[in-house]
Structure 1
Amino acid sequence: MRKLYYNGTILTMENELPVVDALVICDGKIEFVGTYEDVNNRGDISEEINLKGNTMLPAFIDAHSHFSAVANSFLQVSLNESTSFHEISSRIRNFIDAHDVKPGEWINAKGYDHNLLIEKRHPDRFFLDTCCPENPLVLQHASGHVGVFNSTGLSVLGVTVQTTVPYGGFIEIKDGELTGYMEENAFLEYLRKVPMPDMSVLMDAYCKAQQLYASYGITTIQEGFAVKEMIPFYQYLLEHNRLTLDVVAYMDMKDDKHFFDYFPNCIKQYCNGFKLGGYKIFLDGSPQGRTAWVRVPYEYENDDDDYCGYGTMTDEKVVDAIKLAGDKGLQILAHCNGDAAIQQYLHAIKKVTRDMDIQSIRPVIIHAQLIGIDQLDLVKQLELIPSFFIGHVFHWGDIHVLNLGIDRAAHISPAGSALEKDITFTFHQDAPVIEPNMLETIWCAVNRITKSGKKLGENEGIDVLDALKAVTINAAYQYFEEDIKGSIKVGKNGDFVILDKNPLTVDKMEISNILVLETIKEGKTIFVR
């Protein structure tokens, strides 16, 4: 079946033929790219689709997010944009009433940001106990790196003041009592022990999550930290052909044998839309949560003027992780927000390059928020791929100015400097931290404006085309899929997004207002507005 698209602006992301006005796909693959007049064998076209002056691009590619967490967000209390403890309490109580939550059932609430609360601090278990005394409850911070359990939740999980704190984590105790607040490895360890929802309910949430991604023009997504508890859900998704998007999973190293055993046909290749892409490690936390590991202390830290955040893995374990990835021939993604964490990663990679071809596994620096300009030369030399969480400029830029000072904050996600050094980089949203809104991300990269309307590091801004490449052809390269995705070229997959305006010609401040009209995967429409 040959399908023709014409009468629109088609941006290919290919340097040799950047703009065309027609393309033909056949059986999900691109067969022709060029002008309408040059379409061959037009009589064999089974369907002609008039773009009506709209703009078509290769579909967007999610360089880093957490698919299962996005699905779970449909089953959680949303605390996004909450401004006070009172509002948090109201949302939790309303959720209990609306969903008829029974006593003893877990409640998961996500998205609060202490920086936005009038109390300017994290809630504690004593406050949470007033919200739902009969249910175990966990609150996840917007960053996903810290959170709070109520007393019932702590009791169910067996956490006491005598509990051993895992390396790279923190369990807060004040006046000899647990506050319920935890950070990093401690929080993530106990969050994993919270029971998963019922299978049928969760499968519906996975479907909604895929529709959310597709509504933003995305056809390839990531499971950014795959743990063994997810295996039954992926088994169901694959057995029942429930994946409409391509999913690339990066495993917790402790769980890789489980994934290899259950998904032997998915290692570095797709099977029913699922691929095991490699490993994920965490080397620090989040800058807005002040747990990112930085070389220069945070500002405005009254309790400890030398506080720099902290690392979550020893140097030896980082080296071992990279070696394991190399031995398996699998990619490694390292969560590094702070420049100290990035330095640890760079040193570890440089060390192992003596014994392995590190470029063959294309290591990625996830987030790279506070990467130092002085570190970019080594990033280029080692051919590492920074994946910038560029949306931080808008969503937390003002907070970063307070936490880091204007000079450091102005260089968060330094895409401009990376581009000058010809470093291949990608952009992501770390969904569900923020919505997987690619056009907002492009807007952030181009304009670098904070929520308060201030320009933050204008010299780190980039042009629209380079921003588009960061979420198309560059992201395909990150996944080793540049031969089949990321641009509109003969032989590649027919994965497209249709927009109501051309990002290259609209006012740069209007980019985030562009609408996704349709998302197409391998020739089939999976979203239409």
Structure 2
Amino acid sequence: MKLITLSILMILSSCKDDAIQPGPSVEEAYVNGKIYTVNDNQLWAEAMLVKKGVIVAIGTNEEIQQEATSSATTIDLENRMVMPGIHDVHTHPLEAGTRNVHFTLEAVETNPENYASEIRNAVRQNSNSEWVVGAGFETYIFYSEGVRSPLAILNDISTTKAIAILALSGHTVWANSKALALAGIDADSPDPAGGVIMKDENGQPNGLLMDNAGDLLLELAFATFENREDNDYFGLLEYGLPELASNGITSTCDARTFWKRNQHLTWKRVEENNQLTARVNLGLWVYPEEEDASQISTLQSLFSNDPNSLLKINQIKLYSDGITTNTTAAMHDNYLVDIFNHPTNNGLNYISQDRIAQYISALEPIGFDFHMHTIGDRGVTEALNAIEQVGTGSGRHRLTHVEYVSPTDYDRFSQLNVTADAQVAGDYTNPDSWHASDALVNPSLNDNFIPIKSIKNAKARITLSSDWDVSTLNPFVGMQNAVTRTPQELALSDAIKAYTINGAYVMRQEDQVGSLEVGKEADFIVLDQNIIDIQPNRISKTRVLETYLRGKLIYQQ
């Protein structure tokens, strides 16, 4: 293959003169390819002509050669498959790459005691830091009989250094006594909005903070980091963005932008330095504990939707509920176990239906679209209710995760023009894992875990995304799982649309990208195999050879 050599490191270290503009020549003719356009009127092509980053012709080799000028650079695709750049509309590239997390628990342990040496080493290596923050455990490891208090395990390591460790799910924080004391958490502390302070049989905090209770602790910890914004910036630049490019992702939504930590300013810094190698929409976080009028005013002031910019601040991210394994996902029926001893046992709300409606009513008219975390069936219903109650029809809202959905809500997605955004790249979403939560919820609910086929059959728009770094960023794992998860599978053509043109709609850029058509910008990827012609169980082995943004090569294997 005749290639234009340009490494991703050159892009990321570029100065302002090297912004993501059209490719190295004014005109490029890509020939001898198998181009899957995602345009139903012309699904396949052999070649395309790109001028100044825009597709000006697409068709046969002969048609493109006739259209190209004598100065065009010809690039032989050598029969490789080409498709539009991937849209992953739910990722956490800044959080995945930040240097503000001191350590990650590498081993997969079922006994939390086995993490002690790793944690102790991390505390020693960060002796100058008031807080030591880590990540990487599974909450369920504390539920087995005979396991000591989470608090006791960490207190054996240190009671003078604050330790906080985020679960792989992102919905539990494991903390020691020093961390709890700095946060002012004791036996008399009430549960915060959207969170639970877990307590032992004596009513004392046991070291596990569920959902927003843990979020608040981490907010306190990160506020003490002197180089917090630089740590986010360089992590995003050197890890987050390159990972997106190497996986063929040219457009993404940052699914939780903590504006109190100035994460939106970190993204702006990358853009202003012309180091942004993807189209990005930020989802500004709705803090459950904040007073609504003040928070709404702040969110309104941060709106930014410059059509010429790769970076837009035009989405709102809020959580309707928690997660099933914490029994915090909002369900219509009670859980089969009760670990909280609360008056109700059907999950919790970060943001209630009435509050969701209040935020939509205030923010949809100025151009914000809502990206709402909904895992439980009640969480889904309540989010749809809020949209139905106050939505004007101008919003392009989506519910993400949709793990449990009442059949009576299937039709409401299309009726309300709400996109169902699902993540099926994780192993837990495969059919052989659907009944892993039978001890928590009615097992019949797990027969149709993440019911993307049912929602698609109800004429709703589906997007597929990764929730990276909770699950793999690789979109081809997601595509393979989407087409093999009978009885809730998608056709491959629909899975590809879910990662391309449907995602472009969610990001309000379907007229620019999402398919390969004349007049659209040249965001595309070159693959090492034709995913249409292979067995479904081989799709996940696909590798991205090249990634192009606006006709410029931003990644080459």
Structure 1 length-normalised TM: 0.89
Aligned to 2:177: 151
Aligned to 2:38: 13
Deviations 1:343-400 (A, max 9, x none): 11122222225xxx2x211111111111122211122211111111223413963523
**Percent same amino acid among aligned pairs?**
22
Q: CA deviation at 1:184?
A: 2.0
Task: Please identify, of 27-36 and 176-185, the stretch whose mean Cα deviation from structure 2 is larger.
Answer: 176-185
Aligned to 1:244: 277
2:556 maps to 1:528: yes
**Of the candidates 112, 128, 132, which is equivalent to residue 154 of structure 2?**
128
2:138 maps to 1:138: no
Q: CA deviation at 1:486?
A: 0.8
Q: CA deviation at 1:224?
A: 1.5
2:50 maps to 1:25: yes
Aligned to 1:52: 78
**Of the candidates 409, 432, 439, which is equivalent to residue 375 of structure 1?**
409
Structure 1 residues 467 and 231, CA, compared in 2 at 3 Å: closer, same or farther? closer
Task: Please identify, of 392-401 and 326-335, the stretch whose mean Cα deviation from structure 2 is larger.
Answer: 392-401
- Whole-Å Cα distance in 2 between the matches of residues 224 and 491 of structure 1? 29
- Whole-Å Cα distance in 1 between the matches of residues 116 and 489 of structure 2? 40
- Partner SS for 1:193: helix
| Structure 2 alignment gaps of length 5 or more | 1-25, 287-293
Task: Please identify, of 503-512 and 222-231, the stretch whose mean Cα deviation from structure 2 is larger.
Answer: 222-231
Task: Please identify, of 300-309 and 311-320, the stretch whose mean Cα deviation from structure 2 is larger.
Answer: 300-309
| Structure 1 alignment gaps of length 5 or more | 449-457
Aligned to 1:437: 474
Q: CA deviation at 1:220?
A: 1.2
Deviations 1:3-36 (A, max 9, x none): 1222221111111111111111111111111111
* Contact kept in structure 1, 2:451 and 2:488, CA below 8 Å: yes
Counting only pairs closer than 5 Å after superposition, residues 15-414 of structure 1 correspond to structure 2 as 15-39=40-64, 40-72=66-98, 75-79=101-105, 82-83=108-109, 84-96=111-123, 100-115=125-140, 119=144, 124-174=150-200, 175-195=202-222, 196=225, 197-207=227-237, 208-228=239-259, 229=261, 230-253=263-286, 255=295, 257-258=297-298, 261=301, 267-269=304-306, 273-299=310-336, 307-353=345-391, 357=392, 359-391=393-425, 392-394=428-430, 397-414=434-451
* Aligned partner letter, 2:250: T
- Whole-Å Cα distance in 2 between the matches of residues 6 and 123 of structure 1? 63
* Contact kept in structure 1, 2:112 and 2:141, CA below 8 Å: no
Once superposed, what is the RMSD of the aligned Cα atoms? 2.6
Aligned to 1:455: none
Q: CA deviation at 1:271?
A: 6.3
2:555 maps to 1:519: no
* Aligned partner letter, 2:246: S
- Whole-Å Cα distance in 2 between the matches of residues 405 and 73 of structure 1? 41
Q: CA deviation at 1:322?
A: 1.6
* Contact kept in structure 2, 1:241 and 1:272, CA below 8 Å: no
- Structure 1 segments, 4+ long, off by >6 Å, are 120-123, 302-306
Structure 1 residues 101 and 246, CA, compared in 2 at 3 Å: closer, same or farther? same
- Whole-Å Cα distance in 1 between the matches of residues 458 and 253 of structure 2? 27
- Whole-Å Cα distance in 2 between the matches of residues 122 and 189 of structure 1? 25
Question: How many positions carry a matched residue from both structures?
Answer: 511
Aligned to 2:17: none
Q: CA deviation at 1:284?
A: 0.3
- Partner SS for 1:403: coil
* Aligned partner letter, 2:118: R
- Whole-Å Cα distance in 1 between the matches of residues 358 and 67 of structure 2? 56
Deviations 1:108-132 (A, max 9, x none): 2223113467948797222122345
- Whole-Å Cα distance in 1 between the matches of residues 308 and 181 of structure 2? 41
Structure 1 residues 523 and 193, CA, compared in 2 at 3 Å: closer, same or farther? same
Task: Please identify, of 115-124 and 404-413, the stretch whose mean Cα deviation from structure 2 is larger.
Answer: 115-124
* Aligned partner letter, 1:321: Y
Structure 2 length-normalised TM: 0.85
Structure 1 residues 219 and 334, CA, compared in 2 at 3 Å: closer, same or farther? same
* Contact kept in structure 2, 1:288 and 1:396, CA below 8 Å: no
